[in-house]
Amino acid sequence: MSGGVDSAVTASILIEQGFDVEGLHMTNWNDDEPYCTAAQDHQDAMDACKELGITMHHVNFSKEYRQEVFDTALNELNTGLTPNPDVLCNRMIKFDRFAKYAERLGGKRIATGHYARNLQKNGKQELHKGVDNNKDQTYFLHAIDPKILPRVLFPIGDMNKSQVREYAYKKGLPNHDKPDSTGICFIGERPFKEFIQTFVPPKPGDIVNTDGEFLGKHDGLAYFTIGQRKDIGIGGMKNHSGEPWYVADKDMNSNKLIVVQGRDHPLLWKKNVFVGSLNWLDDGVAATIKNGEIIECEAKSRYRQDDAKCSFKALNDGVIVEFNDSQWAITKGQYLVFYKEGKCLGGGKIMSESYSSD
């Protein structure tokens, strides 16, 4: 029970289906800053459980989250990557420590308010996209241990957001109109750079274009990501076109931020990518690529993105992926997640935005 409407509706649906339901609220970040809504979320979760007439348990995983998710993200930032803590949180906390804690409480299965579907086909559990394409969250679930899927329920996976809110309103759930969470709790609505500077000290360097021309100064490469347009710190420049500047690369050796003009600049578009740290939810994929076969499917390199047709095959300790059409602002440290007819096959971490076997 996160305190949001999705988990409240999840609990209500399970009660209607005859399950013996108890709530479990997690605290994953202790922060007195007004940006973090942990205290309010806890209260909202209690109110929802009270309305539903179910017991609510509470567990604090802030220490584990700090060590296994946040510290990992900081390490990646310091090496030039752009991490995705939500993926790590699902793998390490929600579908690992949370599930084990629920089991110690006597829970036989766990359920969350994710927009995803856990379907059984041919005797196997498969993770499929939720019916609401705008809310589908399988991108963030691709890295969980597939062994846990038989114990997981996603009751709202067949609903869209408007149906969830309508259901909550009719049931009189107190958080039926609570706004969706818009970010990671420990950052909240505050600017990313403002927050992360507390943990990753500034390391100023030069901003240059592809010709090496000096354009300005940056505070630290960790504060930027590929494709970023806002807050680069350079405006209109003499002897340059009026097109906006975008981050195209981060040179960790020279501590230089490389920028280009125009969204269509060739450096922002890639057809090949190398992916490592793979996690397969479909065991057939691992066997297929181990035999040297090529798999054709779709993939996305960020959450808010349409699936793109591609093919991939094994290479060293990862896979080399070739897209049918060039993809924009592929970013090291983010995840590439693979799909086949709506089924999430798994995915891995982008280790190189482009790759050549030559």
CA angle 118/177/8 to nearest 5° reads 40
The whole-angstrom separation of Cα 236 and Cα 3 is 45
The whole-angstrom separation of Cα 305 and Cα 357 is 27
The full DSSP string for 99-158 is HHHHHHTT-S-EE---SEEEEEETTEEEEEE-S-TTT--HHHHTTS-GGGGGGEE-TTTT
The whole-angstrom separation of Cα 335 and Cα 278 is 10
- Give Rg (Cα) of the chain: 22
The whole-angstrom separation of Cα 6 and Cα 83 is 25
Partners of 118 in the β-ladder:
127
Active site residues: 89, 185
Orientation angle between helical segments 38-52 and 5-16, nearest 10 degrees: 20
C-alpha distances out from residue 196 to 74, 90, 236, 269, 279, Å: 9, 21, 27, 28, 28
The whole-angstrom separation of Cα 306 and Cα 313 is 22
One-letter amino acid at 321 equals V
